[in-house]
Chain A
Amino acid sequence: MTEVIPLARLMQGNEAVAEGALAAGARFFAGYPITPSTEIAEILAKKLPAVGGKFIQMEDEISSMAAVIGASLVGLKSLTATSGPGFSLKQENLGFAALAEIPCVVVNVQRYGPSTGIPTATAQGDIMQARWGTHGDHPMIVLCPASVQESFTLTIQAFNLSERFRTPVVLLSEEIIGHSRERVVLPDLSEIKIINRKKPPAGLDRYCPYQADADGVPPMANFGEGYRYHVTGLIHDESGGPTTDPKKAESLINRLNNKIMDHLDEITMTESLMTEDAEIIIFAYGATARSAKSAVKKAREMGIKAGLFRPLTIWPFPAKEVAALCARANAIIVPELNLGQLIGEVERVAGLDTRVTGINRVSGEMIRPDEILDAIKTEVKVKKHAK
């Protein structure tokens, strides 16, 4: 008898993002078409109105980001989806969402850049833009799926984290994930954990929209619910009114950072494969981790103690977890589809005692498992020489 798995489906990565958004309770999408993200918009254009939600194709990515923030402020879970050039255009309003603490999700299905680049080629070139793309200091939560299944689960997680911490969350997918079709098992909706924004108690005399609870997160009343308040992209005090008071400015920016950095246990997601006794660790994220996984398995078959460490949350960078790896491993190999972006963070944490080397590709093609395996073998030789 064949096993019957309910809800197992063949699905594209972008479709899984759209399904994940709906499952998370998203009811608003604003966007502007761009390869390789467009399917997300197309699917939601069809599915959102069917569940009473709203879809709008805006005049550009700037306005899409703005509309998403507006919709979230009146209480709808909202998202937009884009790729490199559009992601750049969203940055100013993404910074607004971070400062004004408006929950929302921005999906960036990465493509080859800079500029128009190769729209249909995959890349991991926006690692730093996702972290530092806006001006000023604020935290960012950035999640990287490695599969179609994870495109679904991490989209839900992105919404949960954005609602939990009143912050924009970036889902950093890649062309090759967005456009791949894989088997996906959608969980029953009742099994999915959904987090909704914390509301102020009803009937307060005075609601201070930026007065945080002990966890650093202020309760959020939606516009139209009776608490009238001011939201601005200017530095503001707890009432929401603008201020240039240095103390208030500093405490606001510190709180924004601390509300994330104090809750890394809720935010950081990582996966480790055979790292316990590993001497050589592959640090890989997104689609590149798929190649890394098979390289590690092959290395083990050859008797090499290799392991895979995969951050699903790339920002905040999982420094504690990487530091623990470095304490055990001799070498870390960081394959990336860029000229070396997240490797800088690995090096920062590794210090001088662990060798960190990159495998970099900017041809629009994947890094193959055998290339990673070769790098592992090289590390084995380096180690022998060192002895």
Chain B
Amino acid sequence: MQNSVEKYLRTEKLPHIWCAGCGNGIVLGAMVRAFEKMGCNQNNTVIVSGIGCSSRAAGYMDFNTLHTTHGRALAFATGIKMAKPGIDVFVIMGDGDAASIGGNHLIHAARRNIDLTAIIFNNQIYGMTGGQYSPLTPPGSIATTAPYHTIERNFDLPELARVAGATYVARGTTYHAAMLTNLITAGAAHKGFSLIEVVTACPVSFGRRNKMGGAYDMLMWQKKQAVSVEKAKSMTPEELQGKFVIGELYKGAAPEYTEVYDRLIEKAQGKSEEE
């Protein structure tokens, strides 16, 4: 296994920049295992990322990699996919990146149902800038910009993406790493906009301030709080309070953006009367 996934990494760029105990490496591991499983063509795959600790993952992978501006990864990715629909595109974002500064691009990429696989590293905090709250920080948390506690409600990102029009929506954790590989593989295989939220740990900027313990304890927290889709079905809203559901949350079908545009080209060129 070790050797077979190594070819997806730029080993000369390691060691990575992440702190000891950071979950980002586990997500990166799940991604390369998913690539191995899919038998991915590196030359024909683009990995786009935003700005944040998590977005540095792109640079460690041996693909066509594009590390963009904060929040804008999906917009760059939209240009790439639109210009060359035959290319497979993965998009890596942090929770602040995707849900705050990039929130508008997220809902519009979902609405277009453009064939991209978005992987959101949700460490519930702004890691790179040292622990400010994000739109995914649970209310009542301590952050450097919430010294008393956060008073804002957090997004349910998969739910947001689903109602915006995403056709594949899933949530995983770094504790359930094998499941995560499967979710990424399924998201990539799905035609349309796929979003996979990954609950991951930032012991330094989130765990420490919120008395969650170290890296190990935060993984155990993920294990304890996560409820599978199947199990959640038989639970009451009260029982689900404070928990989060993991697994494949939604799979639907809708016309994919670049395919629809290709038909529009045919129409514009007088080759079809469609649409």
Contact = CB atoms under 8 A, between A and B. Distances in A.
Given A69-B79, A71-B79, A228-B42, A92 B84 contact: no
A224 to B, nearest CB: 5
B87 interface: yes
Contact of B261 (A54, A73, A229, A232): A54
A194 interface: no
Nearest to B87: A224
B28 to A, nearest CB: 15
Contacts of B27: none
A224 B84 contact: yes
Interface residues of B, number: 41
Given A59-B105, A74-B87, A69 B76 contact: yes
A74 B75 contact: no
Given A54-B261, A224-B64, A233-B69, A75 B78 contact: no
Contacts of B69: 66, 92-93, 96, 233
Interface in A195-245: 223-226, 228-234, 241-242
A76 interface: yes
Interface stretch (B146-154, B214-222, B262-270): B262-270
Interface in A37-77: 46, 49-50, 52, 54, 56, 58-60, 62-64, 66-76
Contacts of A74: 46, 80, 83-84, 87
A70 B80 contact: yes
Interface string B234-253: 00000000000000000000
A30 B108 CA distance: 14
B83 A63 contact: no
A28 interface: yes
Given A49-B269, A228-B42, A63 B87 contact: no
Interface stretch (B55-63, B166-174, B182-190, B225-233): B55-63
A56 B69 CA distance: 20
Given A50-B268, A96-B68, A224-B43, A75 B84 contact: yes
A92 B50 CA distance: 13
B162 interface: no
B68 A68 contact: no
B44 interface: yes
B82 A28 contact: yes
Given A63-B72, A63-B105, A224-B46, A52 B269 contact: yes
Contact of B76 (A28, A67, A75, A241): A67
A78 interface: yes
B67 A50 contact: no
B67 A232 contact: yes
Contact of B75 (A67, A78, A231, A234): A67
B104 interface: yes
Given A49-B269, A50-B268, A60-B104, A67 B65 contact: no
21 contacts: A28-B79, A30-B79, A54-B83, A56-B79, A58-B78, A58-B108, A59-B105, A59-B108, A63-B74, A70-B75, A70-B78, A70-B81, A72-B79, A73-B66, A74-B87, A93-B69, A224-B87, A228-B63, A230-B66, A230-B67, A242-B59
Given A63-B74, A241-B13, A241-B59, 5 more contacts: A49-B265, A50-B269, A70-B78, A71-B80, A224-B64
Interface of A: 27-28, 30, 46, 49-50, 52, 54, 56, 58-60, 62-64, 66-76, 78, 92-93, 96, 223-226, 228-234, 241-242
